[in-house]
Structure 1
Amino acid sequence: MAKPVKPVTARGEQTRQKLLQAAEQEFGEKGFHTASISSITQRAGVAQGTFYIYYASKEDIFKALVKDMGRKMRHFLTEATEGITDRLEIERKGLVFFLQFALQHKNLYRIVMECQFIDEATYRDYYEGMAEVYAGRLKRAQETGQIREGDAHAQAWVLMGIAVFMGMRYSIWEDALPPQAVLDTATDFIASGLTP
């Protein structure tokens, strides 16, 4: 399987981004098996041959999309919590910002969930990569006494689980952020689990 081409020009990167955005819409609306390369290129407004400059197949762009969405989400959360030094406050704000991200990127859930059946390695990398970064940050917070000691990886997976299922319940199914009472309950639960 060919490795996706990394564009060398700004125009090439714009084209690649257009393809990824179109793929997000196509896979999110239709699912992997019904989606087609021709529909992706139509949505992107590029010739079908252009697709193959960047991706060898529908599977390639799907996997690249999952990785790209993971990067965008991590970047969004990092920027949203930048400047906050208290770990519990980062967790509170991070949960709200994740739910906002999920609300703005509803296709994320369908695409990531479907990925486990299309390419399990990419699916696992999506969550394991996120957990690895998260655990590192939690470990640093443990070392400074901001949160209780324990297995930082276990803490990361638990916190990710809370966010993923709250995102599904509210951002996806309800198409809204949770009521304040729900957010307060969730963040109190998180604080109780992490406070030293």
Structure 2
Amino acid sequence: MAIAAVAKEPKTARGRKTLRKLLDAARDEFGTWGYHDASVAGITTRAGIAQGTFYIYFESKEEIFRDLVLDLGHQLREHLNEELSTVTGRIEAERMGLAAFIAFVRNNNSLYRIVMEAQFVDEAVYRQYFTDFADAYTENLERATAAGEIRPGGCAERAWAIMGISIFLGLRFGIWDRETPINQVVDAVMDMLENGLRP
């Protein structure tokens, strides 16, 4: 069952701007301190917004954290969609998508800390973060299979497997090692995805 975003969509442009400020500040606060040491006061100070305004949008620190996890997933999917907007084949989409993902992680250092901590704060939102990706990914692989771009096989299983590869590559080359050229990483992984491990 999908979890709806906690914050109600503001009706005014000013309200949407305030909500965006709060979510961006929450990303920085949780990314810096972690869930337990972060505070509503820290979020509102970063946002430059009165603490009372926070409670117009969220009831608690947990609610904004939940909303932030879903928001980060949405931002990442939008980034990937934009980067892949001109790609036509599935194999090229895998290549470009992996490169875009690692680049996104390098530019959004708090992503891993926040998403991984979500499993201990709210397991349902943690699952939804990944399930939303997997569902869309499965559909893309099914379309590519129907178009003859990739060979038939379990698309859901493939989606989760490739996501798993991406998660650890993002950790290794997006967080721990930001010096290795992204193309070098992508070339090595795509060779394995396209050709397998069999000699």
TM-score over 0.5 (shorter chain): yes
Report the equivalent of 1:140.
143
**Distance in structure 1 (CA, Å) of the matches to 2:182 and 2:80:** 21
Say whether residues 1:8 and 2:11 are aligned partners: yes
Report the equivalent of 1:41.
44
Report the equivalent of 1:90.
93
**Distance in structure 2 (CA, Å) of the matches to 1:21 and 1:52:** 16
Structure 2 unaligned segments of length 5 or more: list them. none
Q: Please report the TM-score for the alignment, with normalisation by the length of structure 1.
A: 0.94
Say whether residues 1:73 and 2:76 are aligned partners: yes
Say whether residues 1:163 and 2:166 are aligned partners: yes
Coordinate RMSD, CA, aligned:
1.4
Structure 1 unaligned segments of length 5 or more: list them. none
Report the equivalent of 1:109.
112
Contact 1:63–1:119 (8 Å) recurs in 2: yes
Tell me which stretches of 4 or more aligned residues in structure 1 moved more than 6 Å: none
How far 1:108 sits from its partner (Å)?
A: 0.5
Cα distance change of structure 1 residues 55 and 109 upon mapping to structure 2, 3 Å threshold: same
**Distance in structure 1 (CA, Å) of the matches to 2:18 and 2:184:** 43
Q: Please report the TM-score for the alignment, with normalisation by the length of structure 2.
A: 0.93
Aligned length: 192
Say whether residues 1:53 and 2:56 are aligned partners: yes
Identity of aligned residues (%): 48
What amino acid is the match of 2:116?
A: M
**Distance in structure 2 (CA, Å) of the matches to 1:36 and 1:182:** 37
